[in-house]
Amino acid sequence: MKVLVPVKRVVDYNVKVRVKSDGTGVDIANVKMSMNPFDEIAVEEATRLKEAGKVTEVIAVSAGVTQCQETLRTAMAIGADRGILVETTTELEPLAVAKLLKALADKEQPQLIILGKQAIDDDSNQTGQMLAALLGWPQATFASKVVLEDGKATVTREVDGGLETLALTLPAIITTDLRLNEPRYVTLPNIMKAKKKTLDVIKPEDLGVDVSPRLKTVKVTEPAKRSAGITVPDVATLVAKLRTEAKVI
């Protein structure tokens, strides 16, 4: 069984994001970049399925600038067998990424695609669902447990009311939640091995996909700073302030 795992290069989650002075976007100059945490969980899950003998090959895929090769090398150091970079300088939207992944799925013919439920930069939570629609495959989002058996995937997913278990006929799409697993620490020997693994670089045109933006960012601003809180002497004063000042009761 072949598994496709899309990974995205984003600003590291430990970095404080700053908006450009002209309001055109987020400043990423000299900023540490890393793999999207949800995608890292997806790579780990695919690797564990391979180690359990359920999967024969794990292919990591990324779309973006040349530096995305570093993200793919990290995925291969975790356990992916090879990588594919769809190289473009165009700012990619979820629909464009879904179309690229569909083209790659048609080419590679994987039985399963595992990806993070969302990226921490745009928080769109759209790519997995769009890809499932384009391919016409069943999907299970926000997975907290995945079991492969007899050509089916049993997925436990987190919903507002608790947990829901779905049985999917492969091929299928699964998006990962935080509680699915804990990604392993990438060791130096595995980093060195990853450098020798195959990494193919192609262009969107090679896949016949138009990635031109459909949306336009008008302005990016930081959220307004919150005013300092105050301490009240008793409950009666708190209730009075909530009623007269905050006007929430």
Dist CA 155 CA 134 (whole Å): 21
Mean pLDDT score, 169-187: 93
Band of pLDDT at residue 218, cut at 50, 70 and 90: confident
Q: Model confidence over 190-207: pLDDT tens digits?
A: 999 999 999 999 999 999
pLDDT band (50, 70, 90) for residue 15: confident
Reported as a single tens digit per residue, the pLDDT across 52-68 is 999 999 999 999 999 99
How far is Cα 45 from Cα 51, in angstroms, rounded to an integer?
10
Kindly list the structural domains of the chain, giving each domain's residue range(s) and its CATH number in brackets, ordered by start.
Answer: 2-224 (3.40.50.620)
Structure tokens at 99: 């179309």
Beta strands in the chain (DSSP E): 2-6, 9-11, 33-35, 57-64, 82-87, 112-116, 139-149, 152-159, 162-169, 172-176, 199-202
List Cβ neighbours of 137 (8 Å cut-off, separation of 6 or more). 113, 131, 171, 172, 173
Check residues 170 and 226 and name the one with the higher pLDDT: 170
- pLDDT, residue 86, reads 95
Could you tell me which residues come within 8 angstroms of residue 125 by beta carbon, excluding any fewer than 6 positions away?
117, 118
